[in-house]
Amino acid sequence: AITGVLSKELASRKIRVNSVNPGATLSEGTQAAGLYGIESDFEKQLVAMTPLNRIGTPADIARVVAFLASDDSGWLTGEIIQASGGLR
- Please report, in tens digits, the pLDDT of each residue of the chain (88 residues total): 999 999 999 999 999 999 999 999 998 888 888 777 667 788 889 899 999 999 999 999 999 999 999 999 999 999 999 999 999 8
**Structural domains of the chain sorted by starting position, each given as residue range(s) with its CATH number in brackets:** 2-83 (3.40.50.720)
This prediction has a pTM of 0.86
Which pLDDT value is given to residue 61?
Answer: 97
Which pLDDT value is given to residue 38?
Answer: 67
**Between vectors from CA 61 to CA 21 and to CA 31, what angle results, nearest 5°?**
95
Cβ atoms of 20 and 10 within 8 Å: the answer is: no
Could you say which DSSP state residue 44 is in? H
Which pLDDT value is given to residue 6?
Answer: 98
Which pLDDT value is given to residue 25?
Answer: 92
